Structure 1
Amino acid sequence: MADAPESPDQSPDRKGYWPEVIRLTLTLLVLWFLVSFGAGILFREFLDQFHIGGAPLGFWFAQNGSIYVFVALIFYYCAAMNRLEKKYRIEG
């Protein structure tokens, strides 16, 4: 049985959807870069004056923190994409 054609007011807005997806993706990639490369390498000396769990903060970010942030970003990305798909009526 064929699906009924969508009415114009219920059709997906793909022109608005893709810019938001790209913006979200680039924002999260920049955040991931800043945490993994920035905190672990570029700003290591500054962060090493603080300690977490007995380890210098720069070292902690390089070894553990960037992984935790990466996993949190995955969950955030999933939730944000679900919101965008509902907003633009995109079925996945």
Structure 2
Amino acid sequence: MTENEKAKSYWKENIRYVFILMLIWFLVSFGAGILFKDFLNSIKIGGFKLGFWFAQQGSMYVFVVLIFVYVYLMNRLDKKYGYDE
């Protein structure tokens, strides 16, 4: 595999990870906070409706977790293609 092919494969896999993680965040923030709000509001956690919780705090927590997942995935990807330090 040439260096150019290696870089293209690396970038393609990186974009795929970003797309999947952003899709998860979209589903949690927009889906759980707005689209599925009525269904989730029938569930209560700590006295708060779950739809309200996702709209106010849940999407931020998921975003922070996704940052750590992205770092983990990129470290693995760097090692796979030999770009690690």
TM-score (norm 2): 0.90
Which residue does the alignment assign to 1:44?
37
Segments of structure 2 that go 5 or more residues without pairing to the other structure are none
Which residue does the alignment assign to 2:64?
71
Segments of structure 1 that go 5 or more residues without pairing to the other structure are 1-7
Q: Cα distance, 1:18 vs. partner?
A: 1.1
Aligned counterparts of 2:19 and 2:29: Cα–Cα separation in 1: 15
Say which SS state the counterpart of residue 32 (structure 1) adopts: helix
* 2:75–2:84 contact (8 Å) kept in structure 1: no
The partner residue of 2:13 within 20, 31, 43 is: 20
Aligned counterparts of 1:44 and 1:27: Cα–Cα separation in 2: 22
CA RMSD of aligned residues (A): 1.8
Aligned counterparts of 1:70 and 1:17: Cα–Cα separation in 2: 23
Q: Cα distance, 1:91 vs. partner?
A: 4.0
In the alignment of these two chains, the number of paired residues is 84
Q: Cα distance, 1:15 vs. partner?
A: 2.3
Aligned counterparts of 1:88 and 1:36: Cα–Cα separation in 2: 33
The structure with more helix, counted as a fraction of residues: 2
Percent identity of equivalent pairs: 57
Q: Cα distance, 1:33 vs. partner?
A: 0.3
Q: Cα distance, 1:16 vs. partner?
A: 1.5
Q: Cα distance, 1:25 vs. partner?
A: 0.2
